[in-house]
Amino acid sequence: MTAKKALGRGLDAIFGEHTREEKSASRTEQIGNIPVAGAISDILLSQINTNPDQPRKEFDEDKLIELSDSIKNHGIIQPVTVRKTAKNKFELITGERRYRASKMAGLKSIPAFIREADDVQVMEMALVENIQRQDLNAIEIAFSYQKLVDECNLSYEELSKRVGKKRATVNNYLRLLKLPIEIQLALKEELVSMGHARALISMEDITDQLFVLKETIEKELSVRQVEAIVRKIQNKELKLQKKPLSLPYKYQQLNSKVKKKLNVAVEIKRNNKGKGKISIEFDSDKKLDQILNEILNS
Protein backbone atom coordinates (compact mmCIF):
# COMPACT_ATOMS: atom_id res chain seq x y z
CA MET A 1 0.00 0.00 0.00
CA THR A 2 1.52 3.33 -1.02
CA ALA A 3 1.40 6.42 1.18
CA LYS A 4 -0.41 8.25 -1.61
CA LYS A 5 -3.19 5.65 -1.74
CA ALA A 6 -3.46 5.58 2.03
CA LEU A 7 -3.76 9.37 2.09
CA GLY A 8 -6.56 9.18 -0.46
CA ARG A 9 -8.52 6.80 1.74
CA GLY A 10 -7.83 9.04 4.72
CA LEU A 11 -9.34 11.97 2.83
CA ASP A 12 -12.39 9.93 1.82
CA ALA A 13 -12.93 8.96 5.45
CA ILE A 14 -12.79 12.60 6.54
CA PHE A 15 -14.43 14.39 3.62
CA GLY A 16 -16.87 11.61 2.69
CA GLU A 17 -18.25 11.24 -0.82
CA HIS A 18 -18.44 15.02 -1.27
CA THR A 19 -14.68 15.36 -1.91
CA ARG A 20 -14.94 14.74 -5.67
CA GLU A 21 -18.23 16.62 -5.89
CA GLU A 22 -16.64 19.66 -4.26
CA LYS A 23 -13.83 19.77 -6.80
CA SER A 24 -16.06 19.39 -9.85
CA ALA A 25 -19.14 21.33 -8.76
CA SER A 26 -19.95 24.45 -10.74
CA ARG A 27 -23.48 25.27 -9.62
CA THR A 28 -25.00 27.03 -6.63
CA GLU A 29 -27.56 25.16 -4.53
CA GLN A 30 -29.64 26.86 -1.88
CA ILE A 31 -33.17 27.20 -0.59
CA GLY A 32 -34.33 30.71 -1.41
CA ASN A 33 -31.48 32.95 -0.30
CA ILE A 34 -30.37 30.57 2.46
CA PRO A 35 -27.25 28.44 1.81
CA VAL A 36 -27.80 24.83 2.95
CA ALA A 37 -25.42 22.13 4.17
CA GLY A 38 -24.24 19.77 1.45
CA ALA A 39 -24.54 22.47 -1.20
CA ILE A 40 -22.23 24.91 -2.95
CA SER A 41 -23.28 28.54 -2.56
CA ASP A 42 -21.84 31.97 -3.13
CA ILE A 43 -21.18 33.34 0.37
CA LEU A 44 -20.16 36.89 1.27
CA LEU A 45 -16.54 37.04 2.42
CA SER A 46 -17.68 39.25 5.29
CA GLN A 47 -19.75 36.33 6.61
CA ILE A 48 -16.78 33.95 6.76
CA ASN A 49 -14.36 33.73 9.69
CA THR A 50 -11.05 31.91 9.41
CA ASN A 51 -10.37 28.75 11.40
CA PRO A 52 -8.30 29.56 14.55
CA ASP A 53 -6.95 25.98 14.48
CA GLN A 54 -5.67 26.33 10.91
CA PRO A 55 -2.36 24.36 10.89
CA ARG A 56 -0.65 26.78 8.53
CA LYS A 57 0.24 30.03 10.32
CA GLU A 58 2.25 31.82 7.63
CA PHE A 59 1.32 32.62 4.03
CA ASP A 60 3.75 33.66 1.30
CA GLU A 61 2.73 37.20 0.29
CA ASP A 62 4.13 36.94 -3.27
CA LYS A 63 2.26 33.69 -3.91
CA LEU A 64 -0.94 35.24 -2.55
CA ILE A 65 -0.55 38.13 -5.01
CA GLU A 66 -0.04 35.64 -7.87
CA LEU A 67 -3.16 33.73 -6.83
CA SER A 68 -5.09 37.00 -6.48
CA ASP A 69 -4.14 37.98 -10.05
CA SER A 70 -5.24 34.55 -11.28
CA ILE A 71 -8.59 34.92 -9.49
CA LYS A 72 -9.12 38.34 -11.09
CA ASN A 73 -8.61 36.79 -14.53
CA HIS A 74 -10.23 33.37 -14.11
CA GLY A 75 -12.33 33.46 -10.95
CA ILE A 76 -12.38 30.75 -8.27
CA ILE A 77 -11.86 27.33 -9.84
CA GLN A 78 -12.22 25.27 -6.66
CA PRO A 79 -14.70 26.32 -3.93
CA VAL A 80 -13.52 26.71 -0.35
CA THR A 81 -15.08 24.55 2.37
CA VAL A 82 -16.97 26.08 5.30
CA ARG A 83 -19.31 25.09 8.10
CA LYS A 84 -22.21 27.12 9.40
CA THR A 85 -21.71 28.51 12.93
CA ALA A 86 -24.69 30.89 13.23
CA LYS A 87 -27.24 32.66 11.08
CA ASN A 88 -25.34 34.08 8.09
CA LYS A 89 -22.03 33.18 9.78
CA PHE A 90 -19.57 30.55 8.58
CA GLU A 91 -16.15 29.23 9.57
CA LEU A 92 -13.54 28.33 6.99
CA ILE A 93 -12.44 24.68 7.05
CA THR A 94 -10.17 24.53 3.99
CA GLY A 95 -9.06 27.04 1.37
CA GLU A 96 -7.64 29.92 3.39
CA ARG A 97 -5.21 30.88 0.59
CA ARG A 98 -8.14 31.19 -1.83
CA TYR A 99 -10.09 33.14 0.81
CA ARG A 100 -7.23 35.60 1.43
CA ALA A 101 -6.43 35.98 -2.27
CA SER A 102 -10.12 36.62 -3.06
CA LYS A 103 -10.18 39.47 -0.54
CA MET A 104 -7.01 40.87 -2.13
CA ALA A 105 -8.69 40.61 -5.56
CA GLY A 106 -11.59 42.71 -4.28
CA LEU A 107 -14.23 39.96 -4.45
CA LYS A 108 -17.31 40.38 -2.28
CA SER A 109 -18.31 36.71 -2.26
CA ILE A 110 -16.76 33.31 -2.87
CA PRO A 111 -18.16 29.90 -3.89
CA ALA A 112 -18.14 27.64 -0.84
CA PHE A 113 -19.02 24.03 -0.16
CA ILE A 114 -21.01 23.89 3.09
CA ARG A 115 -20.36 20.94 5.39
CA GLU A 116 -21.80 19.82 8.67
CA ALA A 117 -18.80 19.25 10.94
CA ASP A 118 -17.91 19.43 14.62
CA ASP A 119 -14.69 20.95 16.00
CA VAL A 120 -12.76 17.67 15.79
CA GLN A 121 -13.77 17.07 12.18
CA VAL A 122 -12.87 20.64 11.24
CA MET A 123 -9.41 20.26 12.74
CA GLU A 124 -8.87 16.93 11.00
CA MET A 125 -10.01 18.26 7.62
CA ALA A 126 -7.83 21.37 7.86
CA LEU A 127 -4.80 19.28 8.81
CA VAL A 128 -5.19 16.65 6.11
CA GLU A 129 -5.97 19.20 3.40
CA ASN A 130 -2.81 21.13 4.20
CA ILE A 131 -0.61 18.05 4.44
CA GLN A 132 -1.88 16.85 1.08
CA ARG A 133 -0.91 20.19 -0.47
CA GLN A 134 2.54 20.00 1.21
CA ASP A 135 2.28 23.65 2.30
CA LEU A 136 3.23 23.14 5.96
CA ASN A 137 6.79 23.05 7.23
CA ALA A 138 7.91 20.12 9.38
CA ILE A 139 7.34 21.90 12.70
CA GLU A 140 3.81 23.00 11.73
CA ILE A 141 3.01 19.40 10.79
CA ALA A 142 4.45 18.17 14.08
CA PHE A 143 2.38 20.64 16.12
CA SER A 144 -0.73 19.72 14.16
CA TYR A 145 -0.17 16.00 14.77
CA GLN A 146 0.31 16.66 18.48
CA LYS A 147 -2.86 18.76 18.57
CA LEU A 148 -4.83 15.90 17.04
CA VAL A 149 -3.35 13.45 19.56
CA ASP A 150 -4.15 15.72 22.53
CA GLU A 151 -7.56 17.06 21.56
CA CYS A 152 -8.98 14.02 19.77
CA ASN A 153 -7.51 11.49 22.20
CA LEU A 154 -5.89 9.54 19.38
CA SER A 155 -3.17 6.95 19.74
CA TYR A 156 -0.21 7.27 17.37
CA GLU A 157 -1.57 4.27 15.44
CA GLU A 158 -4.99 5.92 15.06
CA LEU A 159 -3.34 9.19 14.06
CA SER A 160 -1.27 7.50 11.34
CA LYS A 161 -4.46 5.99 9.87
CA ARG A 162 -6.32 9.32 9.97
CA VAL A 163 -3.62 11.21 8.08
CA GLY A 164 -2.64 8.32 5.80
CA LYS A 165 0.98 8.21 6.92
CA LYS A 166 3.10 5.35 8.22
CA ARG A 167 3.42 5.09 11.99
CA ALA A 168 7.20 5.66 11.73
CA THR A 169 6.65 8.85 9.72
CA VAL A 170 4.23 10.22 12.31
CA ASN A 171 6.67 9.35 15.11
CA ASN A 172 9.51 11.14 13.32
CA TYR A 173 7.48 14.34 13.10
CA LEU A 174 6.37 14.20 16.73
CA ARG A 175 9.95 13.66 17.91
CA LEU A 176 10.87 17.06 16.42
CA LEU A 177 8.93 18.70 19.26
CA LYS A 178 11.51 17.36 21.73
CA LEU A 179 14.29 19.37 20.07
CA PRO A 180 15.53 22.67 21.54
CA ILE A 181 13.60 25.72 20.35
CA GLU A 182 16.65 26.92 18.37
CA ILE A 183 16.54 23.80 16.17
CA GLN A 184 12.76 24.03 15.79
CA LEU A 185 13.12 27.65 14.60
CA ALA A 186 15.87 26.66 12.15
CA LEU A 187 13.56 23.95 10.78
CA LYS A 188 10.65 26.34 10.51
CA GLU A 189 12.73 28.83 8.54
CA GLU A 190 14.21 26.03 6.40
CA LEU A 191 17.78 26.75 7.47
CA VAL A 192 18.08 23.00 8.07
CA SER A 193 16.07 20.06 6.77
CA MET A 194 14.14 17.39 8.63
CA GLY A 195 17.06 15.04 7.85
CA HIS A 196 19.44 17.35 9.71
CA ALA A 197 17.02 17.57 12.64
CA ARG A 198 16.62 13.77 12.85
CA ALA A 199 20.39 13.43 13.08
CA LEU A 200 20.50 15.96 15.93
CA ILE A 201 17.67 14.25 17.83
CA SER A 202 19.92 11.27 18.59
CA MET A 203 22.31 13.49 20.58
CA GLU A 204 21.62 13.69 24.31
CA ASP A 205 23.57 16.84 25.14
CA ILE A 206 21.71 20.05 24.19
CA THR A 207 24.97 22.01 24.04
CA ASP A 208 26.30 19.50 21.50
CA GLN A 209 23.08 19.75 19.50
CA LEU A 210 23.25 23.54 19.33
CA PHE A 211 26.93 23.53 18.46
CA VAL A 212 26.39 21.12 15.56
CA LEU A 213 23.36 23.17 14.47
CA LYS A 214 25.52 26.31 14.33
CA GLU A 215 28.20 24.44 12.35
CA THR A 216 25.55 23.04 9.99
CA ILE A 217 24.12 26.46 9.17
CA GLU A 218 27.43 28.30 8.90
CA LYS A 219 29.17 25.63 6.81
CA GLU A 220 26.04 24.47 4.94
CA LEU A 221 26.70 20.86 5.90
CA SER A 222 24.77 18.09 4.19
CA VAL A 223 22.65 15.60 6.12
CA ARG A 224 25.32 12.91 5.62
CA GLN A 225 28.03 15.21 6.95
CA VAL A 226 25.95 15.98 10.05
CA GLU A 227 25.20 12.28 10.58
CA ALA A 228 28.93 11.53 10.38
CA ILE A 229 29.75 14.25 12.94
CA VAL A 230 27.04 12.98 15.29
CA ARG A 231 28.35 9.40 15.05
CA LYS A 232 31.88 10.54 15.87
CA ILE A 233 30.66 12.53 18.87
CA GLN A 234 28.59 9.60 20.15
CA ASN A 235 31.52 7.20 19.68
CA LYS A 236 33.79 9.72 21.41
CA GLU A 237 35.97 9.85 18.32
CA LEU A 238 35.47 13.61 18.14
CA LYS A 239 35.75 15.99 21.04
CA LEU A 240 34.15 19.32 20.29
CA GLN A 241 36.15 22.45 21.01
CA LYS A 242 33.00 24.31 21.88
CA LYS A 243 32.78 27.99 22.46
CA PRO A 244 29.89 28.97 24.71
CA LEU A 245 26.78 29.89 22.77
CA SER A 246 26.40 33.26 24.43
CA LEU A 247 23.39 34.24 22.35
CA PRO A 248 20.52 31.80 21.65
CA TYR A 249 19.56 31.36 18.04
CA LYS A 250 16.35 33.41 18.23
CA TYR A 251 18.30 36.41 19.57
CA GLN A 252 20.93 35.99 16.86
CA GLN A 253 18.08 36.37 14.37
CA LEU A 254 16.70 39.44 16.12
CA ASN A 255 20.20 40.93 16.25
CA SER A 256 20.49 40.58 12.47
CA LYS A 257 17.04 42.11 11.93
CA VAL A 258 17.84 45.11 14.15
CA LYS A 259 21.13 45.68 12.30
CA LYS A 260 19.31 45.61 8.98
CA LYS A 261 16.51 47.90 10.16
CA LEU A 262 18.77 50.54 11.74
CA ASN A 263 21.62 50.11 9.26
CA VAL A 264 24.21 50.35 12.04
CA ALA A 265 26.40 47.97 14.03
CA VAL A 266 24.41 46.35 16.85
CA GLU A 267 25.66 43.98 19.53
CA ILE A 268 23.54 42.00 22.00
CA LYS A 269 25.33 40.56 25.02
CA ARG A 270 23.51 38.13 27.30
CA ASN A 271 24.59 35.78 30.08
CA ASN A 272 23.07 32.39 30.96
CA LYS A 273 20.73 34.05 33.47
CA GLY A 274 19.17 36.25 30.81
CA LYS A 275 20.89 39.50 31.81
CA GLY A 276 22.86 41.66 29.42
CA LYS A 277 22.85 44.77 27.27
CA ILE A 278 22.34 46.01 23.72
CA SER A 279 24.98 48.27 22.17
CA ILE A 280 24.16 50.40 19.12
CA GLU A 281 26.90 52.32 17.35
CA PHE A 282 26.39 55.74 15.71
CA ASP A 283 28.83 58.27 14.25
CA SER A 284 26.86 61.52 14.43
CA ASP A 285 23.98 63.27 16.17
CA LYS A 286 22.03 62.97 12.92
CA LYS A 287 22.45 59.20 12.96
CA LEU A 288 21.48 59.08 16.65
CA ASP A 289 18.29 61.05 15.91
CA GLN A 290 17.53 58.69 13.04
CA ILE A 291 18.00 55.61 15.27
CA LEU A 292 15.87 57.02 18.08
CA ASN A 293 13.08 58.00 15.68
CA GLU A 294 13.17 54.51 14.17
CA ILE A 295 12.89 52.90 17.60
CA LEU A 296 10.18 55.22 18.89
CA ASN A 297 8.06 54.90 15.76
CA SER A 298 8.34 51.11 15.46
Active site residue 21: no
Spot the catalytic one: 21, 22, 29, 96: 96
How is the chain split into domains, by residue range? Answer: 3-118, 192-234, 249-296
Pick the CATH number of 3-118 from 3.90.1530.30, 3.40.50.1860, 3.40.1710.10, 3.10.20.30: 3.90.1530.30
pLDDT tens digits, residue range 67-108?
888 888 888 878 888 888 888 889 888 888 899 999 999 999
Confidence bin at 109 (pLDDT 50/70/90): very high
pTM for the full model? 0.49
- Asked whether residue 9 carries a pLDDT value surpassing 60, the answer given is no
More confident position, 6 or 189: 189
Beta-carbon neighbour count of residue 195 at 10 Å? Answer: 12
What does the pLDDT average to over 174-184?
89
78 to 19, 22, 81, 199, 289: CA distances (angstroms): 11, 8, 10, 40, 52
Q: Determine what percent of the chain is predicted with pLDDT higher than 90.
A: 16
- Asked whether residue 255 carries a pLDDT value surpassing 90, the answer given is no
